[in-house]
């Protein structure tokens, strides 16, 4: 059975519809699923189903190349461009626009950024405002992606040693990231729960410009000032993928990723 309806099947749908048969009966005679017939008739609206018009509409929908979603919607493209200029990631842009009633997936935004032409809808060079700032996307096959651990070198916070919970043994640090207005400033905090000793480190560069080594470099040197026996574990919340690499190997910490509940 062909994946798409052919002209002959559409003609039979028109004839059977004219006889007053329902979607289920028509689907049974065509050997198709009921939902396939239901969608086909629904696309033609509430009027009489016409096979030739339905075939022409189907060919128009299947025509390639198609105008990209951002290039065909100036209002949506402008909102996406504005947020990318503010150094938001495509995933953050997609989530924010969804709350405003616009639907565009992160993959569509990534493709428009790397297309780097008016046909993509965005300004040329927008790829430089992404977190990785690569001129071209790094190709990754599905098999390679399946092998990559989701948390990298991190473990779920539920797997932390039992000694962390009672806070009697020092050396189990808790980290956090505080981001300023428009993602232009940020500070990293490190707290040792037993002694309440707190380290606050300023991150000078905008979040959109940070690279994993630059992001983690401010966190690990302050820990290097304390004795090595106080470097047991580090727990922190999940953040952007570009910032989720492991700290410097010079600080042998057990890494644990906290779970965000209800968006907090």
Which pLDDT does position 30 carry in this prediction?
A: 92
3-state secondary structure of 32: coil
Q: What pLDDT is recorded for position 14?
A: 92
Read off the pTM: 0.42
Q: What are the per-10-residue average pLDDT scores of the chain (264 residues)?
A: 84 92 92 92 86 90 79 86 88 88 88 78 82 72 56 65 79 82 80 84 57 43 65 64 41 55 41
Burial 25-55 (b: 16+ CB within 10 A, else e): ebbeebebeeebbeebbeebeeeebbbeebb
- Amino acid 236: pLDDT: 66
Are 262 and 240 contacting, i.e. CB atoms less than 8 angstroms apart? no
Residue 208 is predicted with a pLDDT of 45
- Given a contact cutoff of 8 angstroms between Cβ atoms, the answer to whether 77 and 121 are in contact is yes
The two structure tokens encoding residue 248: 């410097």
From 172, 183, 263, 177, select the one nearest 226 (Cα to Cα). 172
Residue 144 confidence (pLDDT): 55
Q: What pLDDT score does 13 carry?
A: 94
């Amino acid at each position: 059975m062909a994946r798409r309806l052919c002209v002959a099947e559409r003609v039979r749908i028109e004839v059977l519809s004219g006889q007053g048969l329902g979607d289920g009966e028509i689907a049974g005679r065509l050997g198709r699923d009921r939902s396939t017939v239901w969608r086909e008739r629904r696309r033609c609206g509430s009027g009489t189903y016409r096979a030739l018009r339905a075939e022409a509409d189907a060919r128009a929908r299947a025509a390639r190349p198609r105008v990209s979603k951002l290039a065909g919607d100036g209002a949506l493209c402008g909102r996406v461009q504005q947020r990318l200029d503010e150094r938001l990631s495509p995933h953050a842009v997609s989530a924010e626009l969804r709350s405003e009633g616009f639907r565009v997936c992160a993959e569509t935004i990534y493709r428009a950024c790397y297309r780097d032409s008016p046909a993509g809808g965005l300004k040329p060079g927008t790829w430089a405002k992404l977190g990785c700032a690569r001129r071209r996307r790094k190709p990754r096959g599905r098999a390679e992606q399946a092998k990559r651990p989701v948390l990298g070198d991190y473990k779920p916070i539920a797997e932390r040693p039992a000694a962390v919970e009672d806070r009697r043994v020092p050396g189990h640090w808790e980290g956090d990231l505080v981001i300023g207005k428009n993602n232009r400033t940020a500070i990293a905090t490190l707290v040792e729960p037993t002694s309440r000793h707190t380290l606050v480190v300023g991150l000078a560069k905008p979040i959109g410009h940070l690279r994993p080594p630059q992001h983690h470099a401010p966190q690990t040197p302050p820990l290097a000032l304390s004795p090595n026996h106080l470097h047991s574990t580090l727990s922190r919340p999940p953040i952007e993928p570009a910032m989720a690499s492991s700290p410097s190997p010079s600080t042998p910490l057990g890494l644990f990723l906290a779970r965000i509940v209800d968006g907090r």
